Structure 1
Amino acid sequence: MLIGAVIESECEKIARIKDAKNPQRTANWWESQLSPVYYAKQKALIDRPRLRGKNNKEIELSTYRAFQNSKKIKQSVMKQMVLGMSSHNYEEAIESFVNGYGTKKSSISRHFVKTTAEQMREFMERDLSGLELCALFIDGIEFNGQMLVVALGLDKKGKKHILGLWQGGYRELRSLYQSVLDDIERRGLDMGRDYLFVFDGSKALRSAVTRKFGSDVLVQRCQQH
């Protein structure tokens, strides 16, 4: 989602806003195309926006070229980006993401950074009261001495919902997992429902879940851990 938004931002700087009439336009929007990009050494396909110039030839976009490099982004930059998201500093996270690929600042407007940061904030801190979930998946990974926790909800139709991303000290797991559950409760998730919790064998996580939902809570240990 973020990679596509970055590429589209460069397109808007070159060809202005899509569908808007502009007699001074030097390039035109073209049909999009499924194209490969890399993030964290993983290959993914995105619906890439494209431009063509007055000569009808495709215009090369520096942002897309950067995202095609599987070795471009550094671990230190990824850490800064993730920490920015988990600490709710979304502008810092986006700037770290873009700069980590070596993308020129001139390719991305300040307006894009602020607008995208606001969209990210709304998504990561959105109200959860409308969700009717039946299962919660919680997983934590160690990253450069920090623990990153992701929570995913599954509704009765099988649709997955990302609930959030949290970061904390590796030696303070119990309080970190407790803060995760406190946060999704604060954002409106119905804590009176019966959920199936799926996670690894973490004693700290099980303790936090039991404390919040009671000793009779349903827990399934992930079969891959």
Structure 2
Amino acid sequence: MTIKHRKAQRVSVSRLVMQAQGECAAGPFYGMVGNLSPHGCFFVTYANVEIKEIVNAQIFLPTERWLHIEGEVSHRAERAGFGVRFLNLSEAEKASLELVIDYAQGLNDDMETGAKEAEQTGDSADGSDPAERRRYPRAAVAADLQGATEETTSGIADISMGGLFLRTTANLRIGQTMTLRLPLGTGQPLEVEVEVVHIQPGRGVGLNFLWQGEDDPARARLAREIAL
């Protein structure tokens, strides 16, 4: 099978269980998003489509919002699904997808290295993760949630400018907002507003940062810390 129009590495989003529905020439289709990039995705579905066909679809994001997309079919796999190249996405829509991709990649990395990290608590971050992401050992960094149903000390698994994955046993819900205190360097903890976008029962939650614009001082401070 030849894959065309692939502009960026696609990331598996199967752990996020992103539903999809749409219309193709053969009629409506339903399925899941298997992998995703800012430029396209693969729909896991039985839909019968043709190469270069234009489809209209909706993708259910982890923030519990539907993203409407138009795409051109770039490849297909019988009884498995088809890949599309997105058409006419706005910059805001691309930014939303990049947050989802960054978060999904963090989950994937966390699952792959979780067992190793459990044996190496106390090590320093090695800076080998993708750009703008820093991995912290489970026991080395704690964060305090304010606004959860009970006080909790939680460990940061993965962090980027878009958000982070927090290991916590706090009882939270999708869409809940709260204040997170992040220990950064030797200074005062950084207080940021966050929104719960994904929950893994017994493991933790995915949080998006709710920045107050590009000039948010908290955003600038986190960017400096991540760049170190």
Larger Rg: 1
Q: Is this a same-fold pair by TM over 0.5?
A: no
More helix by percentage: 1
Provide TM-score, normalisation by structure 2: 0.25
